[in-house]
Structures are given as C-alpha cells and as structure tokens.
Structure 1
C-alpha cells in the first residue's frame, strides 16, 4: 500500500514537471499568445498599442529572445520612459499564467536593447544579435 502510494506520488510529480516544461516555462505556447507592442504617446506618460502580433513564428522569435535574457534581480531607475513595451497576451482562456510587461530601452549607440520585466522586477541586456532581431520586429510596419 505504502509503495504504491509513493510510486503514484512520484508519477504525479513527474507528470507535473513534464507539463511545466512543455509549456515553455512561465509562458503558454506561442500558439496561445499574441503580442501587443506599445510606444509612448507624445505626452510621455501613456502608451498606445501600435502593433498586434498574431503570427506564431514572430511571437516565437520575440518570446525566445525574452526567455534567454540573462536577468538580474534588480530594480533599476532609467533616465527616461521606455521606447517600447511588449505585452504578451494569453488568447487561450483554459491556460493561466502571470502576465508580464517588458519595458524596452534602446541604448544611446542604438546597438543594444535593455529590458525590464515588470512582474517580477528584473533587468537585462540583450546581445547585439538579439537586439537587432527584436528591434527589426519592433520597428517593422
């Protein structure tokens, strides 16, 4: 009786871990996400959505870039408002996850993107390659 209980418990834990890994960490799979991109309004205080990304391939590129950021658990104070905001939107009501907003700053040299995730508060810099890829998506019409 005790042995079968332990085997059942181990099986349940294993399945839970596989399910979590299958969901790509803290995000639903790309087919369950859209992305809303926002730019600051002229008043500098509010943001407006200027682009909605629904293409699974592009969503996958953006999310894979954001998932491989080397995050530092830090609260940073930037000298200006973010140049962009990225909001992944869960479009599958049967999957729940904690929504995260990513604030994006373009470096003065325009070669590196700095990112702050706002839940939890983390800071990271993208590689030049990833910055170029993400910036081309952010700036595409």
Structure 2
C-alpha cells in the first residue's frame, strides 16, 4: 500500500429562508481558483468538525453559528492526484449576523437545481444530489 495523505475538510451548506444554498468562489492564488464550493475548511489539530465549521464560517463569511444548528447531511470521499479528501457536509438553516465575503471571495445564493451551473471541485459535485433531494 502506498502512503496516501488523507485530508479532512468540513463543509457547510447554508440554507436561507428561500431554500437557496450559499456557495463561495475560490479566490485567485488558491488551489482550484475560480471554482465554487461550500464554505468550510480544514480541521486544526484536536478540533472537532463542528468547531471547525463554527470557526471557519465566522472567519470566511462573518456569521455566528451554534453547534445545535449544524446537522450532518452526507460526506464526500475523493481521490485527488496527491491526496485523498474526506469531507463531511453539514447543513445549517439558522445563524446570527449577515453573510459577507471577508476573504475577497465571491458569494452566491443558488437554488439546489442550479448548483451544477457553477463549476465546482470534483469532490463537491457528488454532494449536489443530496441538496437537491433535500430542497426540491
């Protein structure tokens, strides 16, 4: 067996009152720049996925989320060339504050059946049917 680097990233599908999902465009200079993804990020050592999301959602888009408002929906497992990504996807319908782009990224509120209109990293694409089933 080869030593494959396993990367654990957690993502969140924020769902607004109109049943739209928030996606963010990866900024220039980052890997996969220009592609759209669900907000979230890498776990810090010793950090639980829910704590990561609470921290990342505050850092990236300025909102405050309570752990009780995060519900696991599904996960992605995707083999990239140089690492394997494992990504739990949570949904969140309640938060405090206004969604704002704090890291220079573009944001879009999108209906689930329109998510495929936005180019996404390969790991994110298999998550779309779960959101479509949930929201349509």
TM-score (norm 2): 0.25
Q: Tell which has more relative contact order, 1 or 2 (C-alpha 8 A, sep 6+).
A: 2
Name the structure where helix makes up a greater proportion of residues: 1
